[in-house]
Amino acid sequence: MSAKLIDGKLISASVRQQVTDDTAAFTAETGVTPHLAAVLVGDDPASQVYVRNKERACGKCGLKSTLHRLSDQTTQQQLMDLVAELNADESVHGILVQLPLPKHLDSTPVLDSIRPSKDVDGFHPENVGLMLQGRPRFLPCTPHGVMKMLEHENIDTAGKHAVVIGRSDIVGKPMAGLLVQKGADATVTICHSRTTDIAAVIRQADIVVAAVGIPEFVKGDMIKPGAVAIDVGINRVNDKLVGDVEFSAAAERASAITPVPGGVGPMTIAMLLRNTLEAAKQSL
């Protein structure tokens, strides 16, 4: 392996330490403890792990978290009622509805109903719009985490060709939005399932961000020698976690690469904590 390993655990630990210090100072000054309300519907095993990790991280950094567990029989109205209750609760600063929701529920009206000032995921259309205009209230956690990793590694994005694979509202689209902002200044291509000759496009990338949710979709030979490979995928294959990038082959060609696990995942959580502290500050 010739690539430098971008250690998400290490970088996220420094973000979390900063959040811990800032939270302690904020709470000492105001008497307010930032409070995240997490909503988990159903019993998807991966979602349970993610939410547990988010709660644990809150506790370690001095933030309060409350988990609202709803059964997989929950109706759209019951979920909307819970969000309305959390919107009205002044002790709650951040609301997170873990995705995906069970199939019978529609996430769009749920996310639309979260008060934008409590939308610590940055999924509300108002916050998406503000982010795209370069005046963010909350940056979406995973794309923000990726930007933080690039910054930490002194990887300059200006003028670089960044290829984002995947066009989800959670990662692909906002990731492209951040990379193209003034200051980041990348030239961005978004690839998706209908892209013609996706391998040829990926081969042109100086920075590849893989967020397709297909195990080892990006083969080693698609990585331009010296490119940076950021792997957002977390796929369970035979009880093992595998990213969207064929790690060992890609690591032979890339100049830097994120592992799975221990890459982007811990960064997402760290940025969520930062947003929750920010929401508490903005609530005063």
98 counts as catalytic: yes
43 a catalytic residue: no
Of 29, 6, 94, 24, nearest to 60 by C-alpha is 24
Is 282 part of the annotated catalytic residue set?
Answer: no
Instruction: Return d(Cα 283, Cα 90) in angstroms, integer.
Output: 9
The nearest distance, CB 130 to ligand GUN, in angstroms, is 18
Does 12 bind ligand GUN (CB under 6 A)? Our answer is no
Query: Within positions 229 to 268, which residues make up the interface with ligand GUN, using CB under 6 A?
Result: 268
CA distance readout (Å), 234 to 66, 210, 243: 25, 11, 5
State how far the alpha carbon of 187 is from the alpha carbons of 160, 197, 206, 207, in Å.
6, 19, 10, 10
Would you call 256 helix, strand, or coil by DSSP? strand
Q: Find the part of the chain contacting ligand GUN (CB under 6 A) among 1-9, 26-34, 90-98, 128-136.
A: 90-98
Residue of the chain from 99, 130, 180, 249 that contacts ligand GUN (CB under 6 A): 99
> Active-site residue among 22, 64, 98, 173?
98
- Structural contact between residues 204 and 227, judged by C-beta atoms closer than 8 angstroms: no
DSSP 131-186: HHTT--SS--HHHHHHHHHHHHTT---TT-EEEEE---TTTHHHHHHHHHSTTT--
Nearer to ligand GUN, 32 or 241 (CB): 241
Options 96, 120, 242, 267; binder of ligand GUN; rule CB under 6 A:
96
Q: In the stretch 108-147, what mask flags binding to ligand GUN with x, by CB under 6 A?
A: -------------x-------------------xx-----
Q: How many residues interact with ligand GUN (rule CB under 6 A)? A: 9
Stretch that binds ligand GUN, among 83-91, 96-104, 212-220, 274-282 (CB under 6 A): 96-104
Q: Which of 272, 208, 254, 266 is nearest to 7 (CA)?
A: 266
- Which residue number has the CB closest to ligand GUN? 99
Token reading at 55: 């709660």
To the nearest whole angstrom, how small is the minimum distance from the Cβ of residue 45 to ligand GUN? 13
Distance CA 275, CA 20 (A): 13
Which residues are the active-site residues?
54, 98, 121
Q: Which residues here bind ligand GUN, judged by CB under 6 A?
A: 96-99, 121, 141-142, 170, 268
